[in-house]
Amino acid sequence: MDRLDNTIRPYAWGSTTAIPQLLGIEPSGEPQAEMWMGAHPGAPSRTGRGTLVEVIEADPERELGGPAVARFGPRLPFLLKILAAGAPLSLQVHPDLEQAKEGYEDEERRKIPVDAPYRNYKDANHKPELICALTEFDGLCGFRDPSEAADLLDGLGVDTLKPYVDLLHAHPEDAALREVLTAVLTADPDEMTRTVAAATAACTHLGGAYAPYADIAHHYPGDPGVIAAMLLNHVRLQPGEALFLGAGIPHAYLNGLGVEIMANSDNVLRCGLTPKHVDVPELLRIVRFEPSDPGVLRPEAAPDGEEVYETPIDEFRLSRYVLPEAAGPHDLTRATPQILLCTAGSVRAGEYELTPGQSVFVPAGEKAQVSGAGTLFRATVIV
């Protein structure tokens, strides 16, 4: 196995303290948003044999195993991250596999540069993702029942929101949600700025269920995404709880530290809370306009102390081991590639002693024994 040296991405929304605190180092004062573990070309992990991209490209069958290469191609199909949100991320949605292929091929035909700020599809892959909380973690996930969203907006007492309230009481529900999100994102910018300002003042005054939206508005004053966010379920995860975000589900992470795993893709369509490009027609094609329960996941017990976060896709499988004091060796050898990440305590993986934030890559079939007292996350694939 290989110890990983991982890149930390300094996105503006990142916490200045959460990742340094996990790693046991002094904060730099700059935001530290995500630590990437994997073979994403944008920031591949480094090993003693070169970057993980180079290691896999040199011998995909050896590193990934024949079944994984046959199923997903000669690349690691997932990206593992530690994510530290100090401010809300953009409100966003991801395409399914067919939509991603269609969108990518269309933009390639139109010769839109892959780094163009108005390009939607950087690759032809989908991007399901799972976030598991290490601390209390706030997020938005999926549409509320339209009548609940109507009550929330109506409670603000803002006259210019009344048309949205009326639309949300209409039927069918999917059409009502589509009409309101379309109206919010295509409204006159000056009028929407005034509406958001009035809604922000009301949220700040009312507190309670409105407090998360007051905080969002503090970070994104005047952004129509503040109103769009109120159409979604607010979720607070406790440590160990997780959310799965499938295709078409609008979502945003607001605050907290977590372990995130996703299919290896950059495809994001934004709905707001961002200065970046918002392609409203394409967004409306991708979003699933249906009320949904956020579906908080808790790990399910598996043999040998493994706790698995079950999801409906195969590009990744996330589980964890909470190892008690002086735990004997656990054999984690598997016929698929793995990344092992320590988040608490001290865990020995093969020849490496892992402390919080440290990780290793285990090639397919490579012997992997772990021991110690701590928490270890295991990322792999299903073939």
User: With 0-12 CB in 10 A as exposed, 13-18 as middle and 19+ as buried, what is 95?
Assistant: buried
378 Cβ contact partners less than 8 Å away, ≥ 6 residues apart? 306, 318, 319, 320, 321, 332, 338, 339, 340, 341
Q: Looking at the chain, which runs of residues are DSSP E strands?
A: 2-3, 7-9, 34-38, 46-47, 50-51, 78-85, 91-93, 129-133, 137-143, 232-237, 242-245, 251-263, 269-272, 300-301, 306-309, 317-331, 338-349, 352-354, 359-362, 369-380
Per the residue annotation, which of 270, 317, 320, 378 is the catalytic one?
Answer: 270
Known catalytic membership, residue 270: yes
Give me 130's structure tokens: 């799972």
Residue 90 C-beta-side C-alpha neighbours within 13 Å? 15
CA–CA gap between residue 206 and residue 204 (Å, rounded): 6
Q: Would you please indicate which residues are annotated as catalytic (active-site) residues? A: 270
